[in-house]
Chains A and B, each alone.
Chain A
Amino acid sequence: MMSWQESGDETSGDDTGEDEIGENDRPACICVVDDDAAVRHAMDNLLEAGGYRPLSFDSGEAFLASPDLDGIDLAVFDVKLRGMDGFALQERFAALGLAARIPLLFVSGHSDAEMEQRALKVGALALLRKPIDPDVLFDHFEHALHLRRTVA
């Protein structure tokens, strides 16, 4: 298992430090947790159009219950979720050891500087305010995936 945060871990061998999407054996899997169906569908569409593999969940509980977490390359959590919120989900995500190998971005429809600080403090790469420019979003994705590949 590779790590995007700590150097020295073995890589699984299928990622070779490329930062271009689509040049690897498989497209990166980006997982979105958002309780708004319209936003989820739109994100699925955007990810697919951009050459990523989308995987989305409508709640933190559904995410944690999924058998597909091993294949995720990058996670995107909405802060305001029904049930456990994005930060509570991040705690479980970290406790399961997922944070060590999957970079995380938070998104939120309503945030302030304090919430952004908190997101960075718990190890997320950023907290992005909705609505997010798709180009900016993709820049963040590629940056995160690049980090994950090159550091590993």
Chain B
Amino acid sequence: MSAASGARRRDLPESHLISVLVLCRQSGEHAADGEAQQAARRRRILHHIGQLDAASADSHAAVADKLALAQGALRELDGDAVAALADYERAAAHAAAQGVEHIAGIAHERAAALATRRNLPTTAHAHAQAACRAYRRWGAPGLVVRLEEALRKAEAELAGGAALATVSQLTAAIAHEVNQPLMAISTNAGAGLRWLRHDPPRVDQVSGLLQAIVAQSQRAGKIIQTLQALGQEGPQAGGVDLHALIQSALARARPELDRHGVALELDLAAPHSRVEGDAGQLQQVLARLVENAIEALAPVQERARLLRISTSAVAEGIEVRVEDNGCGAGEPGLDAMFEPFASSKPDAMGMGLAVCRSVVEAHGGTIHAEAGAPHGCSLVFSLPGGAP
């Protein structure tokens, strides 16, 4: 990029644009900064946009693309995606008219990234293609490779694959979830070493700590396994038979169901059970919902433990209900169950249901929880499809 951009640099307007892009990125990445810091950044962004505006009064044709691109970046930062996309379109059109391919490429690339985050895969795909073309014309093979990667992802999304944006949103949750058991392991090990250094060594204290270390290692491993199962197969599109997936998830859960004495009731009444999507990811959703039901049923002593899975045709497509008569959602309540850190169970993987929601929403569906009457809880998701 550097060699080509050096040849094309038009000093001032370009450097104002770069300042705006850098400042917008910093503002976005450091949303937790103090108000004063964010306000100072904003003042600087507005200053550079003002400079571009003034420059465009002198030579409109040469600056209009950069001004529109800078305005788009600010609107994107402000959360106005529609206006930002329009600005990027304008920037790309001006740049193309002037033969400034790298600006056109940046405008299309930013539009593609924004559209991806806003779940507009068709728009994202078109912009990613346009960005590829612009960078190729400009002669930046490195950027073309990067863009082609983005393009492949956009294509995968178009085909009904994973929601890429949610992956980055989950990164913080994943780091937190994995670091908790690691913290427990390291702390228990430290405690064990200190008990052994006592005179005489307090061996009696150590075995409980070692047991805790084993349990917490398993907890960390389970989180990683779930993530691997979600990630390794990659987004795969194609017809998926939900009824077959339900049967397969239940077959895998059978040992746990038997161990807890859970009676199973199946009512797969939807006349057509094929949906578009990724079989591996949807299977993870079903597995997690069944696991959630078993966890809610395990403490129940005073009534028969029942898990009921049913499907039906609904206006949106096909609906799957996973009902149990277990201990219910408890705190923090039904609405919060899908939040990344919500879990009523002390050692449960808090982000399990959050991942379920991400996957269902990436498939164009919805998921919610309902309280059971008189006991338990239903997790209900619907997906488009269910056509013959």
Could you tell me which A residues sit within 8 Å of B by CB distance? 36-39, 41-43, 45-46, 48-50, 80, 82, 107, 109-110, 114-115, 118, 129-135, 137
Pick from B185-193, B294-302, B354-362 the stretch touching chain A.
B185-193
Please report the C-alpha to C-alpha distance between residue A107 and residue B180 in the assembled complex, in whole angstroms: 11
Main secondary structure of the interface of B (DSSP, over half): helix
Which chain A residues border B28 with CB–CB below 8 Å? none
Q: Is A42's CB under 8 angstroms from B341's CB?
A: no
Q: Is A45's CB under 8 angstroms from B191's CB?
A: yes
Q: A115 with B32: in contact, given A39-B184, A80-B341, A135-B190 (CB under 8 Å)?
A: yes
Which chain A residues border B342 with CB–CB below 8 Å? 82
Please report the C-alpha to C-alpha distance between residue A128 and residue B205 in the assembled complex, in whole angstroms: 27
Q: How far is the CB of A138 from chain B (nearest CB, A)?
A: 8
Q: Is A49's CB under 8 angstroms from B195's CB?
A: yes
Q: Is B185's CB under 8 angstroms from A131's CB?
A: yes
The range of chain B's interface size is 35 or more
Which chain B residues border A41 with CB–CB below 8 Å? 184, 212
Q: Is B176's CB under 8 angstroms from A109's CB?
A: yes
Q: Is A37's CB under 8 angstroms from B346's CB?
A: yes
Main secondary structure of the interface of A (DSSP, over half): helix
Question: Which partner residue on chain B sits nearest A81 by CB separation?
Answer: B341
Q: A109 with B341: in contact, given A38-B219, A46-B191, A135-B190 (CB under 8 Å)?
A: no
Which chain A residues border B181 with CB–CB below 8 Å? 38
Which chain A residues border B209 with CB–CB below 8 Å? 42, 45
Q: Is B183's CB under 8 angstroms from A45's CB?
A: no
Which chain B residues border A45 with CB–CB below 8 Å? 187-188, 191, 205, 209
Question: Which partner residue on chain A sits nearest B181 by CB separation?
Answer: A38
Q: How far is the CB of B286 from chain A (nearest CB, A)?
A: 27
Which chain A residues border B251 with CB–CB below 8 Å? none
Q: Can you list 17 A-B pairs, Cβ within 8 angstroms, ordered by A?
A: A36-B180, A36-B184, A38-B184, A39-B180, A42-B187, A42-B188, A42-B216, A43-B187, A49-B194, A49-B195, A50-B191, A80-B176, A109-B176, A114-B32, A131-B182, A132-B186, A137-B187
